[in-house]
Amino acid sequence: MTDTVIAKIQSVAMAALGAAERLVSEWLPEGERQGSEWVARNSARSDRTRGSFGISLVTGKWNDFADNDAHGGDLVSLLSYLRGCRQVDAAIEIDRQLRLDIFRHTGACQERRNMPSPWLDKVSLGQQVEAERRQVQQQAAALAKRLWRISQPAYPRHPYLIHKEVPRYLLRQSPQGQLLVPLYAEGQLVNLQCINAQGDKRFLKGGQVYGAYSPLGRIAHHRQLYVCEGWATGATLHAYTREPVACAMNAGNLKPVAKSLRARYPGLDIVIAGDDDRQTPGNPGLMAANEAALAIGALVVLPVWPEGVPDSLSDFNDLARWYKRQGGGHE
């Protein structure tokens, strides 16, 4: 990355402070202002408790107190973290949103006589950034394929599988003991979600997430297909329905995955199996499920909560495990 681009990213980060509350309230709408901080749940991981993720509205510094690796010094790095994109992509998005025009020009250009090709005279910064992003994704996909190839079938008694009370299906396990959840796009392995014994989740750095999903079962035109958020939720749905499932990995990815699957399987009967985030203001799980369903003309199903179920439960895996603890089956 050139010094000019770095300087522009820094300029965007400084300018963003003037609209800090407006920006973070859009990125993390379930949060709230507490003094000079915006306090929310971390939407980039399985965080259901608001309060561990804080962003300073004065300096832009942010920190997840439950994850030592999640912290940054400005709002550009925050959006980069939440979106899973490069900082230059995040800076360009903020620049456009605030109409700063910092990235409108690419800076001083070489003289035409120094141009090795006429094409370079036309290429925009956005095109360069997109090319770099694709290259990073390709590198991550190559790493995913290599790690998948050298890994072994997941240990059936892995702590995460025991906790979620689901089979391993086709998951693999790294030599370090992490479960490897494969993500596919257009039929190609593009990324892995790595889950450790404590349930902490990480994607490969720079790997594609948007529009990618982890499949359970064989997708076929005569079958119903469920699209859900997390893999454990998908494993539960697959176990109880015997129908194929596409796990989008997070609420924000439900709509892109649903649209991608609809384009690839036009006549498929797709059902969005949403999370019911009842304790989170705005219920982001329900909202994301409805948006995905409206985008492709699909139905939405949510867990049906019997009397006595704790309000903290939100997805189909939670419901299935609660039923088991009651010593009963499922409806």
- Domains belonging to the chain, first-starting first, are 3-114 (3.90.580.10), 124-209 (no CATH), 210-331 (3.40.1360.10)
Contacts of residue 284, Cβ cutoff 8 Å, sequence gap at least 6: 29, 30, 43, 251, 277
Of the candidates 55, 72, 59, which has an alpha carbon nearest to the alpha carbon of residue 14? 59
Taking the CA atoms of the chain, what radius of gyration do you get in angstroms? 21
* Confidence class for position 46, pLDDT limits 50, 70, 90: low
Beta strand extents in 84-187 (DSSP E only): 152-153, 172-173, 179-185
* Confidence class for position 128, pLDDT limits 50, 70, 90: low
Across residues 13-19, what is the average pLDDT?
Answer: 88
Instruction: Give 273-308 pLDDT, tens digit per residue.
Output: 999 998 887 888 899 999 999 999 999 999 999 999
* Confidence class for position 181, pLDDT limits 50, 70, 90: very high
Indicate whether 105 pLDDT > 70: no
- pLDDT for position 114: 42
d(CA 292, CA 73): 33
Pairing of strands 299-301, 269-273: parallel
Q: Scan for tokens 């409805």, then name that residue.
A: 290
Cα 62–chain centre separation: 19
- pLDDT for position 110: 33
Query: Comparing 145 with 37, which gets the higher pLDDT?
Result: 145
Cβ atoms of residues 229 and 214 within 8 Å: no
Taking the CA of residue 200 as centre, how many other CA atoms within 13 Å lie in the half-sphere pointing to its CB?
A: 8
3-state SS class at 315: coil
d(CA 165, CA 206): 31
- pLDDT for position 5: 82
Please report, rounded to a whole number, the percentage of residues in the chain having pLDDT higher than 90: 52
pTM over 0.85: no
Contacts of residue 209, Cβ cutoff 8 Å, sequence gap at least 6: 84, 183, 191, 203, 249, 250, 253
* Confidence class for position 270, pLDDT limits 50, 70, 90: very high
Indicate whether 329 pLDDT > 80: no
- pLDDT for position 224: 93
Across residues 210-223, what is the average pLDDT?
Answer: 90
Query: Comparing 3 with 94, which gets the higher pLDDT?
Result: 94
- pLDDT for position 183: 97
- pLDDT for position 112: 33
Residue 255 is inside which H or E element, if any?
helix 254-264
Across residues 226-240, what is the average pLDDT?
Answer: 97
* Confidence class for position 127, pLDDT limits 50, 70, 90: low
Query: Comparing 272 with 71, which gets the higher pLDDT?
Result: 272
